[in-house]
Amino acid sequence: MAGRVRRDERVSATREALLDAAERLFAEHGVHAVANRQISEAAGQGNNAAVSYHFGTKIDLVRAIARRHAEGIEVGRLRMTAEIGDSTDLRDWVACAVRPVTDHLETLGTPSWYARFIAQVTADPALRAVTAEEFAVGSPSMQKLQDGLDRCLPDLSPEVHAERAAMTRHLITQMTAERERALADNVPTSRATWRGTADGLVDAIVALWQAPATREDRTPAPGR
């Protein structure tokens, strides 16, 4: 029994080491530029097939990295949505989109690689779909966030709502990745803390959602 426990602990430690190494390498170089062999070496594993053995495909590895961060972010967002209840203040709901991410990044310390990992992954349509699944599946907080934004912005068309939701994701992803990179490189940042970064993002995203929506000009089809 004790031997089995020790083996399970070794397997768990190996998996965590591989996840740490993969997250860092993917963040720094991009997913497709990193070979499984490089991940195994960075994790201190002599077996070049360690990644395949423990995770399967590279997509499975990306999914596992996203999953281990999604839980912490989900817990934070659920707590925030519970605190604001049925608020109709747009700023409350935008904060629910931003702060669980920045709060999670703060817990990771410096250097961290998660924000840059997400920025790399979301640049690839197939990998973006994988991470989106991890954050959406079984995520009651995201449904609450959607409902809250709908209550605050009842006049926005579904098309404009979807467009601004995408803009919101891009802003959060790119600005957190930029700050994470600056911290890792010891470069001065415009905001001294992750909380300050969140404040700036909330200010900008609230303005984005409140901006007038211009009707799309469509060129009439020939003969009309």
pLDDT per position as a tens digit, 8-30: 678 889 999 999 999 999 999 99
Half-sphere exposure of 149 (CA within 13 A, CB side): 23
**Considering the entire predicted model, what is its pTM?**
0.90
Residues 49 and 83 in one domain: no
pLDDT, residue 65, reads 96
pLDDT, residue 218, reads 47
pLDDT, residue 4, reads 60
Does residue 224 lie within any of the structural domains? no
Residues 44 and 70 in one domain: no
pLDDT greater at residue 13 or residue 47: 13
Q: What is the separation of C-alpha 215 from the centre of its chain, rounded to a whole number of angstroms?
A: 31
pLDDT greater at residue 161 or residue 4: 161
Q: Which amino acid is at 182?
A: A
pLDDT, residue 220, reads 52
Confidence of residue 3 (pLDDT cuts 50, 70, 90): low
Q: What is the DSSP letter of 61?
A: H
User: Which of 36, 56, 76 is where one domain is finished?
Assistant: 56
- The pLDDT of 156-177, averaged and rounded, is 96
Q: What is the DSSP letter of 222?
A: T
pLDDT, residue 118, reads 97
Residues 119 and 52 in one domain: no
Lookup result for tokens 């609230």: 206
DSSP annotation string for 87-129: ---HHHHHHHHHHHHHHHHHHT-SS--HHHHHHHHTTSHHHHH
- 23 burial type by CB count under 10 A (0-12 exposed, 13-18 middle, 19+ buried): buried
pLDDT, residue 153, reads 96
Residues 163 and 204 in one domain: yes
Does residue 101 lie within any of the structural domains? yes
Answer whether residue 132 shows pLDDT above 90: no
Question: What gap in Å lies between CA 197 and CA 90, rounded to an integer?
Answer: 18
Answer whether residue 135 shows pLDDT above 90: no
- H/E element, 45: none
Does residue 193 lie within any of the structural domains? yes
Q: What is the DSSP letter of 218?
A: -
- The residues, any chain, with a CB within 8 Å of residue 151's CB and separated by 6 or more, are 86, 88
Confidence of residue 224 (pLDDT cuts 50, 70, 90): very low
Distance, first Cα to last Cα, the chain: 79
The length of the chain in residues reads: 224
- Split into its structural domains, the chain has a count of 2
Residues 6 and 99 in one domain: no
Q: Is omega for the bond preceding 111 within 30 degrees of 0, making it cis? A: yes
Q: What is the separation of C-alpha 143 from the centre of its chain, rounded to a whole number of angstroms?
A: 16
Please report, for the domain that includes residue 9, its CATH number.
1.10.10
pLDDT greater at residue 21 or residue 218: 21
Lookup result for tokens 């949505």: 81
Q: What is the separation of C-alpha 224 from the centre of its chain, rounded to a whole number of angstroms?
A: 46
Domain span holding position 23: 1-56
Residues 144 and 186 in one domain: yes
Percentage with pLDDT > 90 across the chain = 81
Q: What is the pLDDT of residues 60-117, one digit of tens each?
A: 999 999 999 999 999 999 999 999 999 999 999 999 999 999 999 999 999 999 999 9
User: Which of 56, 74, 98 is where one domain is finished?
Assistant: 56
